[in-house]
Structure 1
Amino acid sequence: MKKIVNPWIKLEKDGYNCFGCAPNNPYGLKMEFYEDGDDIVSFWTPTENYQGWLHTLHGGIQSLLIDEIAGWLVARKLQTLGMTTSLEVKFKNPITTGTCTQLEIRARLKEIRHNFAFISAQIRCDGRLCSSGELTYFCFSKEKAAADFHFTACHTVDEEG
């Protein structure tokens, strides 16, 4: 498993403050990402600050975890950016904010058709499938990603030296 370098860190002074992945957003999830073969993986600990019902992780936060990892999959595997056009989440088992100490969020590219990436994602706690998502992502051209979003590449730590 290889840690992915956050390519937007250098843009913090310009306003980078993503709720999902900015490390210095005081309210954010501060997600970090890893490449594991064909998958992109993140590990995250649910706390009481993100609950919906008593001691249960809010479904919107679960959806955000799935959406965020899909974006990172596009950045790393396709070396561009895009936007979610469709997100379907199925909640299979509750995620408790007190006893589930670490979630594993995992995404995989299923197919690419034209400018659309079709992605599957899952959230697991202690090996148990809690939520799954199917996403469609519209992928920007590499030129648009660079010009509009300052994105040039997404590397792993070992690639950057």
Structure 2
Amino acid sequence: MPESTTGETESNCFGCAPRNPIGLHLDFERHGDVFSTRVKLGTDYESFPGVVHGGIVASILDETLAQAVYRSGRVSAFTTGLRIRYARPMETDTEHTAHAEIVKRDDISVRASGRVETGDGEIVAVADGTFYLLTDDVLGQNSERIPAELIKVLRSANGRAPQGD
């Protein structure tokens, strides 16, 4: 969940990696305190004809919230809680926009909220998420439980300004 490229290693992130052949290829922009991405998905991501699967909508929201957390504080994090409320189906082959912003931050976690909207601004789904910050101290304290290569990538990403931000 930092960005798709972190130092010398390229991620295969389902949400944001540009080269993941089945990924969402989300590309984020910052507008003040709000982080946004546009997404248009085809039939490979549907549940019913013309409708994007709800789990994919959840993935879009999780990635958007997580990117807001990372880009606002330059520290990697992982999702500890995600609450989603669906308002209407997300249609395939139609452009939507996802937005996220930080609600609360402390030394160990961040809360963020976000939404997916149609091109007309109608709400598709809203989400609230809590993210545990993977600071250098946390990575060191949990080095037995976290793969060494992941620690290396996260430490490289922490504090590094994302490109295009």
For 2:75, the aligned partner's letter is: T
Aligned match of 1:38: 33
After TM superposition, give the deviation of residue 156 of structure 1 in Å: 4.4
Supply the distance in 2 between the matched residues of 1:96 and 1:125 (Cα, whole angstroms): 9
Aligned match of 2:125: 131
> Runs ≥4 in structure 1, deviation > 6 angstroms?
none
Report the count of equivalent residues: 149
Aligned match of 2:145: none
Alpha-carbon spacing, 1:7–1:26, altered in 2? closer, same or farther (3 Å): closer
Q: Secondary structure at the match of 1:157?
A: coil
Alpha-carbon spacing, 1:104–1:9, altered in 2? closer, same or farther (3 Å): farther
Aligned match of 1:11: 9
Q: Mapping of 1:1-161 within 5 angstroms? A: 7-8=5-6, 10-12=8-10, 16-98=11-93, 101-126=94-119, 127-142=121-136, 144=139, 147=152, 149=154, 150-152=156-158, 153-157=160-164
How large is the Cα RMSD of the aligned pairs?
Answer: 2.0
Structure 1 unaligned blocks of 5 or more: none
For 1:135, the aligned partner's letter is: G
After TM superposition, give the deviation of residue 140 of structure 1 in Å: 1.5
Structure 2 unaligned blocks of 5 or more: 140-149
Identity of aligned residues (%): 23
Supply the distance in 2 between the matched residues of 1:91 and 1:112 (Cα, whole angstroms): 25
- TM-score of the aligned structures, taking structure 2 as reference length: 0.82
For 2:129, the aligned partner's letter is: L
Supply the distance in 1 between the matched residues of 2:8 and 2:96 (Cα, whole angstroms): 28
After TM superposition, give the deviation of residue 109 of structure 1 in Å: 0.2
After TM superposition, give the deviation of residue 157 of structure 1 in Å: 2.8
CA contact (8 A) 2:29 2:164 kept: no
